[in-house]
Chain A
């Protein structure tokens, strides 16, 4: 069975501050891990994915995530937040099955 846990349903940062969104996973097989973003009134958009190549994955809009097997984590970071980063962020895992298992999401607020 696979699952992801996103710590913190809401995260608030100031513009220019570091963004850190936490995700821990559980998987009985080597996982594939994803971060999706959802802007208001839009669908889910892929930010980045980990598929067992490099453990540090770079995505769009300056985001990156590091796969840490020892910590079963795949936290999402961005060095400097921008107002346009305000959105809902979802961590997801998949394995051998052809489906994604999502976390409950983290709403990121960015203050000027």
Chain B
């Protein structure tokens, strides 16, 4: 089965530093997402992206966050100035069409902000 690939699997950074989390969605997919899971809490929606623009974002996705699809294959999440509370597992996901089709998730990037 095709896979969504995320790199790195673990990222450690200092508070205030910028981080970029990388994802390679499945090649024929058109809709892309970032979710995160703080340890012990539920998986939370961050942002959805379609046709090179954000289609929806949550309250968590403030000005410190941005997403980009720079080259037609990668899909990145940037956090400009990390905070301790950004420590979480970040999941990238993609699917072919918007509504209620199977969402394919990557294995996640564990971000630790010290």
Interface residues on A, range: 20 to 34
Question: In the complex, what distance in Å separates the CA atom of A46 from the CA atom of B91?
Answer: 14
Beyond A99-B56, A104-B41, A105-B42, whether A43 also contacts B100 by CB under 8 A is no
Residues A98 and B103 in contact, CB atoms below 8 Å apart = no
Query: Is B44 interfacial (CB 8 A cutoff)?
Result: yes
Residues B105 and A97 in contact, CB atoms below 8 Å apart = no
By beta carbon, the residue of chain B nearest A36 is B105
Residues B107 and A43 in contact, CB atoms below 8 Å apart = yes
User: Which of B44, B55, B93, B103 has the largest count of A CB atoms less than 10 A from its CB?
Assistant: B103
Q: Among B33, B44, B91, which residue has its beta carbon within 8 angstroms of that of A43?
A: B91
- B40-67 vs A, Cβ < 8 Å mask (1 yes, 0 no): 0111110010000001101000000000
Beyond A43-B91, A43-B108, A44-B105, whether A102 also contacts B31 by CB under 8 A is no
Question: In the complex, what distance in Å separates the CA atom of A26 from the CA atom of B42?
Answer: 16
Interface residues of A in 44-63 (CB under 8 A from B): 44-46, 49, 51
By beta carbon, the residue of chain A nearest B43 is A102
* Given A99-B48, A99-B56, A100-B43, 11 additional A-B pairs, CB 8 A: A32-B100, A36-B105, A42-B107, A44-B91, A44-B103, A90-B42, A97-B56, A98-B31, A99-B33, A100-B45, A104-B42
